[in-house]
Amino acid sequence: MKFLQSAPRFLFFTGKGGVGKTSVACATALTLAKSGKKVLLVSTDPASNVGQVFGVTIGNTVTPIQDAPGLSALEIDPEQAAEAYRERIIAPVRGLLPESELAGIAESLSGSCTTEIASFDEFTNLLADDSSYGEYDHIVFDTAPTGHTIRLLQLPGSWTDFLAAGKGDPSCLGPLSGLEKHKQVYAKAVQALTDPTRTRLVLVSRAQTSSLSEIERTYLELNQIGIGGGYVVVNGVLPPAAGDEDLAQALRAREAAAIAAIPEAVASLPRDKLDLKPGNMVGIPALESLFAATSGADITDDAAAVPEVEDAPLAALVNEVELDGHGLVMCMGKGGVGKTTVAAAIAVALAKRGHAVHLTTTDPAAHLTETLHGSIPGLTVSRIDPEAAIEEYRSHVMETKGRNLDDDGRAALAEDLLSPCTDEVAVFRQFSKVVQESRRHFVVIDTAPTGHTLLLLDATGSYHREIARQVGDTMGFVTPLMRLQDPAQTKVVLVTLAETTPVLEAEELQGDLKRAGIHPWAWVINNSIAAAHPQTPFLQARAASEIEQITKVHTLTDRVALIPLLPEEPTGEEKLSALTALSAQPA
């Protein structure tokens, strides 16, 4: 493995949910420990299953892995870290401010910015404090800090003074207000991250176009703040042991095409390919096999015992959506699960049934025109440009909030608006315009704002509260947030894969949305091998490994669609139309 050669002290593994970065990180830590090194494996992933992989309970304390001498693990719980972080900020003013103001501060600290910074706060000592963790030869991180988080840490403004003077809205100011006293420690941590002799970035991907595009985006983002020297690991490549049934041959062709078209920015990086395994990466023997080629001997005798999955075609969801005659359908989920494809399939089906449909995306990585391959009568396609939305939002805030500030105040406000946390709020303003159209016809949106964004907008007096103040009790009004909260007007569809991490992440997203008063309407499990009814023992073993997650999804929602893994990418009108006619039962 190229990424393991002359490994530095710190190794960071990053990639989309479901690509196998936890498995690769765990196997790396185990390999280094078996070579005689003392290794600490650290997870900052909110959907971490490091404990499950090793079969032990791991928490926020260093835990030795008994069956792997030299290896210890630590799981940083992002929610616990965020709660402790919030308390450190709020405690000094508790009793000095009214409860309503304390609640507002707590809400401004409830989102992903705070969680990321709090997690980084927790493992900063691992990077900057050799006295506590100097005994370890290697520290392996599952889920690296994003460029987003590190840019926040690098913002130089005095946020505590800015907030105290009442000179701004807390888009990112809440979490940033707690950073001042830790600036020196953070600086040491960032210095370690940007030193290639001390830190190695490993970008984990699947042999899929969207997954490879994501590692390019991450790599370029981290390059902007000085983290370079990355390595690429393409995980889960279908091996010869998977056999030669039509599905296997088609998947190999898809993977080969994706790897051949790997984005230019990461194409020249050192690259390793890891074979897909027939079972889940749970237990030390499984981890020890990850870096070896897959053979027929890896397939157990009972692999073919795959329970039948329930027939749950996407067409059934489309039928229910159509009954309303108009409305908003939002396809949400983590990157790489197929949101764009599902959104396009729903939109095409409604248009072909004679309805006027507007299909749009807020995802900067989405390519709806490539997915559709041309125009379809009744279907309008657009894209909300995040960069244009952000620039417009910054100008608006500087012209309004910044109008009466002094030079220092305007400079501080301008700096806050450069923070990535303002991006979601900016896109929401454009998104709100599209939402209004759903009163007249169908609007299908690929990638909507997160529950955190909606809560922040509502709690800080942005759109919803501003309208409420202006209108008062004199007349009725409906804001975009209220429309999203109304199940008669909006149907939120969560898209996932039948794998542990994507299902956990979708479950967390559902909880976040419910906090904002939005209750997801349905789940779609995409690219299911079990629903494709494979014939060879290898793919049957993979199908069997999905059943637990499919069962779990049924406990989280009462409306599920199951889309089988297809031999060809579902692009173009014909294939997208076929997607809404597929059954989960064999022909």
324 is catalytic: no
Pinpoint the alpha helices (H) of 76-182: 78-90, 99-108, 112-128, 130-133, 147-154, 159-164, 173-176
The backbone torsions φ and ψ at residue 361, rounded to the nearest 5 degrees and listed phi first, read -135, 150
Tell me whether residue 112 is exposed, middle or buried, using C-beta atoms within 10 angstroms of its C-beta: 0 to 12, 13 to 18, 19 or more.
buried
Tell me what pLDDT residue 460 has: 41
Tell me what pLDDT residue 388 has: 81
Q: Which of 14, 23, 43, 209 is catalytic?
A: 23
What's the angle, vertex CA 482, arms to CA 321 and CA 390, rounded to 5?
Answer: 95
Q: Which of 15, 20, 178, 335 is catalytic?
A: 20
Tell me what pLDDT residue 183 has: 64
How far, in Å, CA of 527 to CA of 314, rounded? Answer: 12
**How many CB atoms neighbour CB 308 within 10 A?**
11
How far, in Å, CA of 114 to CA of 127, rounded? Answer: 20
Residue appearing with tokens 């499990």: 525
Per DSSP, the residues of 131-158 read HHHTT-SEEEEESPPPHHHHHHHH--S-
Q: DSSP 3-state assignment of 146?
A: coil
The backbone torsions φ and ψ at residue 529, rounded to the nearest 5 degrees and listed phi first, read -70, -40
Q: DSSP 3-state assignment of 496?
A: strand
Of 54, 236, 24, the closest CA to residue 143 belongs to 24
Beta bridge partners of 229: none
CA 543 distance to own-chain centroid:
24
Of 100, 43, 28, 113, the closest CA to residue 75 belongs to 43
Beta bridge partners of 140: 11, 41
218 is catalytic: no
347 close to 523: Cβ distance less than 8 angstroms: no
23 is catalytic: yes
Structure tokens that stand for 227 in this block: 């983290």
AA identity, residue 199: T
How far, in Å, CA of 564 to CA of 557, rounded? Answer: 19
Q: Which of 15, 16, 17, 21 is catalytic?
A: 21
Tell me what pLDDT residue 172 has: 47
Structure tokens that stand for 435 in this block: 């939402």
Radius of gyration of the chain from Cα atoms? 24
Map out the domains of the chain with their CATH numbers: 2-77+119-292 (3.40.50.300), 314-387+428-579 (3.40.50.300)
Structure tokens that stand for 436 in this block: 């209004």
Per DSSP, the residues of 299-352 read S-GGGG-PPPPPP--HHHHHHHHHTTSSEEEEEE--TTS-HHHHHHHHHHHHHH
Residue appearing with tokens 């220092």: 408
Q: Give the pLDDT of the chain (587 residues) as one tens digit per residue.
A: 999 999 999 998 988 777 888 899 999 999 999 999 999 998 876 556 787 788 888 877 889 998 899 999 988 777 777 777 777 777 877 888 787 777 766 766 666 566 666 776 676 777 776 667 788 999 998 875 555 555 544 544 444 444 444 444 444 444 455 555 566 676 777 788 888 888 898 999 999 887 898 889 888 888 877 877 899 999 999 999 888 898 899 999 989 999 999 999 999 999 999 999 888 888 898 899 999 988 766 666 555 566 777 778 999 999 999 998 999 999 988 777 888 889 999 999 999 999 999 998 876 555 666 667 667 889 988 887 777 878 888 888 888 878 888 888 788 777 767 665 566 667 777 777 788 888 889 999 887 566 555 654 454 434 445 445 444 554 454 566 778 888 888 999 999 999 887 888 889 889 888 887 889 999 999 999 999 888 888 898 889 989 999 999 999 999 999 999 888 888 788 888 888 875 444 44
How far, in Å, CA of 233 to CA of 204, rounded? Answer: 5
Inter-CA distances, 499 with 181, 214, 273, Å: 41, 19, 20
Q: Which of 17, 28, 45, 491 is catalytic?
A: 45
Question: Burial code of 50-77, b = ≥16 C-beta within 10 A, e = fewer?
Answer: bebbbeeebeeeebebeebebbbbbbbb
Tell me what pLDDT residue 163 has: 41
For 508, half-sphere exposure in the C-beta direction (CA atoms, 13 angstrom radius) is 17
21 is catalytic: yes
476 is catalytic: no
Q: Which of 501, 528, 536, 580 is catalytic?
A: 501
Structure tokens that stand for 49 in this block: 């299953």
Structure tokens that stand for 222 in this block: 């981290």
How far, in Å, CA of 361 to CA of 367, rounded? Answer: 9
Tell me what pLDDT residue 210 has: 79
DSSP percent split of the chain into helix, strand, coil, nearest 5: 50, 15, 35
Residues 211, 217, 221, 224, CA torsion sign? positive
Residue appearing with tokens 């929401």: 428
Beta bridge partners of 94: 97
CA 2 distance to own-chain centroid:
27
**Which region holds residue 495: left if phi is over 0, alpha if psi is between -120 and 50, else beta?**
beta
Q: DSSP 3-state assignment of 493?
A: strand
Of 186, 183, 178, the closest CA to residue 86 belongs to 178
Q: Which of 18, 111, 174, 243 is catalytic?
A: 18
pTM of the model: 0.76
